Amino acid sequence: MTDNRLVIQSQNSFKLAIKGSILAPLVYYAYVTFQRLIKKLKGLSDSRKNMAAINTMSSKRQMVLISEQHRAWLCRSNVIDDLPGIDICVVTHNSAELLDSYINSLLAQDYPCNKISIYFVDNNSFDQTIEKLELFQREFQSQFRAFNIYQKSSQIIGGGLDFAIRQGQSDYMLISSIDIIYHKDAIIKVVAMALSDDEQVATWELRQKPYEISKYYDPVTLETSYSSHTCVLMRRAVYNNVGGYEPKLLICGDNIELSYRFRRAGYILKYVPSAIVQLNLDKKTSEDNYLSLSNSLLSNAYIRLCYGDWYDKLLIFPLQLTALIRGAGFKGSRRLIIKNLMQLIKNFLTFFEIEKNNNDIFFPFRGKDFELDREGDCYECRELDSNNLPLVSIVTRTYKGRQFWLKECIASVLNQTYPNIQHVIVEDGGDDMLPLVEEVKQAYNGAQNITYKSLTKLGRSRAGNEGLLISKGQWVMFLDDDDLLMPDHVEVLVNELQNNEEIDAAYTLAWDVVTVMKNSQNVIAYTEMSYETPDKYFQNFSLDVLLYQNYIPIQAILFKKALYDEYGGFDEEVEYLEDWLLWTKYAINHRFKFVKKTTSLFRTPYVKSELIRRKIKLDSVYNVVMSKQHEILSQYQH
């Protein structure tokens, strides 16, 4: 027995003693209470309205699958007859080395250049930026609707962008950094969503590769609390309505302040994960990174003064002082923080506003940051081979009365950025879900490849095996009907399997979303109380650990269908923890890979009595599963 296995066994000794004991409910109750107290203490620097902000977005999930806007976007994202003119607004500063790749990627767009007006505003460049811009202007002006160059000194990027925006007249403006390269279909995809959405939506943010902004956005509605302005499409009328960029805010704050101002005015912001721009990382300067680090804390303070409640405002100076004590990780950081403190005191009354937000609009603050962090900002998502995109089958088990959950589940699959998916829906005990499945097939005009099968009541494990049997994909995964996938979930996992031929399965991190269910007069709703990732998930794959602890959520893993062909599916004698046995069987002679990126979510109940009942139910089969684990090990280990 290896050292790892001995460690896990010793850690589980107390838990094994509790399982089945009459003291188990009391112990579990005390443990849950203690854990929630610790979470509250850790979150003292967070806004009390953070989860309200998330629930404002999640409360709209039920409407997405049946909305005309969502259908229109998915069914015509690359086929639009009457494309509008758009203005592209860019600020340059010593950007000569970036211009070739930027302009060339624009010229290679599917979006017709004769509908694009470009507005470059240069901020005191002393390299060859202006000369190169003028060269490009002479060479390519005839291909674009307009190609304009301005020289204007501005202490903030927002000031230069505001000047560029006001030179144009198009209904839509694409705000863009110069250090990006557009994917061929990036602009047409983001414009497709804009044309499909109603006038309440103000902005549409494009996804960055190879490193994605690590903020939360809703996996079903695609709404977000704030937009990065590395590349974002805006509605001109909305921009003019709210007044444009705040001239007193520096980099790392102007985009968030404008985003919050949009939302305070009642508008919605969206994220478009299928519209992609590539960051030109080789040309990132240390000056850019220094400015980003130096201004983020001060901007957070200013935005708390504008949009936070009294509790958020009270935390401003404690956060600044904490940063002063700890430093910011680079030379001269404390001196810079002191300078920021002086600026904050000087401008305190300028930014301070008595809370005047609408009751249903909430602005997240998490310490010196803003939104919930999505693990994976350092994960490099490489490009997929567009000529080699094998079919992926997603198996969802459901049963009578689960239409509410299944609607959101299907919507999260529809939102996947990976294009070649078969969604296998197996209903255990009837065909109540068939009308919903048929409605989706008809509404999305073939945009989703759905295979449906109804069964007599045979149990979860048998339903899962039926799903595996009819799956046609080279790779397969499970998605329970109340779980959700982030849009890049399949893309990330296919990326790993395509680029690592020696592995047979890959899995990512997942959020455990503690949820309160409400059922009033047959109307189902829920409130999400917290998003957490259990510590046990943050470890590289180990069979020794897996034998004693299930640390791979069922929806987090994508595996080769060949594993099912060789070893079979779920043990149909087991109805709970069945996925744990399956992963063990597949992993004994094959390699799994852990990917440190959050790409899905699953739910646990908030009400303690429900949580304890669930825990005791799992405990009741634990010894049976452990026994079967050892049988699997002896049967399959080479």
In order, the DSSP letters of 194-242 are HHHS-TTEEEEEEEEESS---B---TTT-B-SS--SSEEEEEHHHHHHH
Q: Are 502 and 591 in contact (CB under 8 A)?
A: yes
Name the pairing type of β-strands 592-605 and 557-560. unpaired
Please report the pLDDT score of residue 623 as a whole number. Answer: 84
pLDDT band at residue 249, thresholds of 50, 70 and 90? confident
The torsion defined by the Cα of 303, 308, 311 and 312, in degrees rounded to 10, comes to: -30
Structure-block tokens of residue 171: 């209904």
Question: With left for phi above 0 and alpha for psi between -120 and 50, is residue 332 left, alpha or beta?
Answer: left
pLDDT at 21: 66
What are residue 465's phi and psi, to 5 degrees? -65, -35
Give the model confidence (pLDDT) of 461-518 as tens digits. 999 999 999 999 999 999 999 999 999 999 999 999 998 989 999 999 999 999 999 8
Residue among 290, 275, 238 at smallest CA distance from 259: 238
Residues 576 and 619: their CA atoms lie apart, in Å, by 10
Would you say residue 17 has pLDDT above 60?
Answer: no
Helices (H) and strands (E) in the chain, counts: 23, 17
Strands 475-478 and 592-605: unpaired
Place of tokens 């879900």: 433
Q: What do you get for the CA distance between the two ends of the chain, in Å?
A: 16
pLDDT tens digits for 80-102?
668 999 999 999 999 999 999 99
Lowest-confidence pick of 187-191, 253-257, 410-414, 434-438: 253-257
Helices 333-351, 286-307: inter-axial angle, 10-degree rounding: 30
Backbone φ and ψ for 482, nearest 5 degrees, come out as -105, 10
Q: State pTM to two decimals.
A: 0.92
Check pLDDT > 50 for residue 280: yes
Q: Indicate left, alpha or beta for 94 from its phi (over 0: left) and psi (-120 to 50: alpha).
A: left
Enter the tokens of residue 285.
Answer: 């300067």
Q: Virtual CA dihedral for 168, 171, 176, 181, nearest 10 degrees?
A: -110
Residue 183 CA to residue 105 CA, distance in Å, equals 7
Q: Hey, is 364 helix, strand or coil?
A: coil
Q: How many whole angstroms separate alpha carbon 235 and alpha carbon 388?
A: 37
Residue with tokens 């005390």: 30
pLDDT for residue 126: 92
**Cis before residue 210, ω within 30 degrees of 0?**
yes
Sign of CA dihedral 106, 233, 47, 324: positive
**Mean pLDDT, the chain, whole residue set:** 88
Residue with tokens 């002086």: 342
Res 141: pLDDT: 93
